[in-house]
């Protein structure tokens, strides 16, 4: 256990559905991240939050919408996704950005 | 951008020392070098971080030459459980998504 939890662990959704991924960290960290990992591709950083403020949006399509209501929780809202968005979505946290990141187990997303 | 280059895969045997080298020719003065380990269907896990010369912890050693354009992760006496993907990451510690780049990683396979 890394102190970072993600729910759900698996999600199957249609292209017209709206769903949300949840991440929670119990480490007292102040930076949180969303990553996408597609099959046989490098980890791609999507969003960075520091002190609950989004500090970077790494050219991610608007069908992905992050939300950070407090320093312990991070959401990724999904709508009108495409099949190519199927991937493992990983959440991470760190004490200040750039330090050692603690990753959650990920959500395996399949878009039909 | 300090992009990293690693071998795609490596094979070794139990009990051997494994050295994985990462090239980062464009590393900036403020960048640290961090290595992560990832098992299938799990999030990456921090192994070690360094800035220059040598860093050692209970898991691995990290060797960084004076020019810092490369680094070598050394795993002593590997076991079957060390079979994983190893990522080299160069990050300045600033909250910039464009600076946090995971490369393709090195897929390490350990044989009995």
Do B102 and A43 count as a contact with CB atoms less than 8 A apart? yes
Chain A residue at shortest CA distance from B92:
A98
In this predicted model, what pLDDT tens digit does every residue of B76-102 receive, in sequence order? 999 999 999 999 988 776 555 445 677
Rounded mean pLDDT of B29-36? Answer: 89
* Residue in B41, B95, B101 closest to A56 by CB: B95
Do A98 and B102 count as a contact with CB atoms less than 8 A apart? no
Rounded mean pLDDT of A10-19? Answer: 92
| Cβ contacts from A onto B, under 8 A | 74
Tokens 């990920």, residue located: A106
Q: What is the pLDDT of residue B2?
A: 59
Query: Three-state DSSP class for A4?
Result: strand
In this predicted model, what pLDDT tens digit does every residue of A23-60 receive, in sequence order? 999 999 988 999 999 987 788 889 988 877 777 776 89
Yes or no: say if A2 and B43 are a contact pair by the CB < 8 Å rule: yes
Q: What is the pLDDT of residue B94?
A: 56
């Amino acid at each position: 256990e890394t102190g970072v939890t993600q729910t759900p662990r698996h999600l199957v959704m249609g292209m017209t559905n709206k769903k949300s991924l949840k991440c929670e960290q119990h480490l007292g960290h102040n930076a949180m991240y969303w990553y996408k990992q597609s099959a046989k591709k490098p980890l791609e950083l999507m969003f960075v939050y520091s002190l609950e403020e989004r500090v970077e949006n790494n050219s991610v399509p608007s069908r992905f919408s992050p939300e950070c209501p407090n320093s312990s929780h991070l959401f990724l809202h999904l709508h009108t996704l495409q099949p190519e968005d199927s991937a493992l979505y990983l959440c991470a946290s760190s004490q200040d950005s750039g330090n050692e990141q603690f990753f959650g187990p990920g959500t395996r997303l399949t878009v039909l | 951008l300090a992009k990293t280059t690693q071998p795609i895969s490596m094979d070794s045997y139990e009990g051997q020392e494994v050295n994985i080298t990462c090239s980062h020719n464009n590393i900036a003065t403020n960048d640290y070098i961090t290595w992560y380990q990832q098992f299938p269907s799990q999030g990456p896990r921090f192994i070690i971080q360094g800035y220059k010369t040598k860093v050692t912890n209970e898991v691995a050693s990290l060797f960084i030459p004076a020019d810092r354009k490369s680094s070598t992760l050394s795993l002593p006496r590997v076991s079957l459980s060390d079979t994983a993907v190893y990522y080299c990451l160069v990050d300045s510690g600033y909250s910039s998504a464009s600076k946090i780049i995971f490369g393709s990683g090195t897929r390490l396979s350990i044989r009995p």
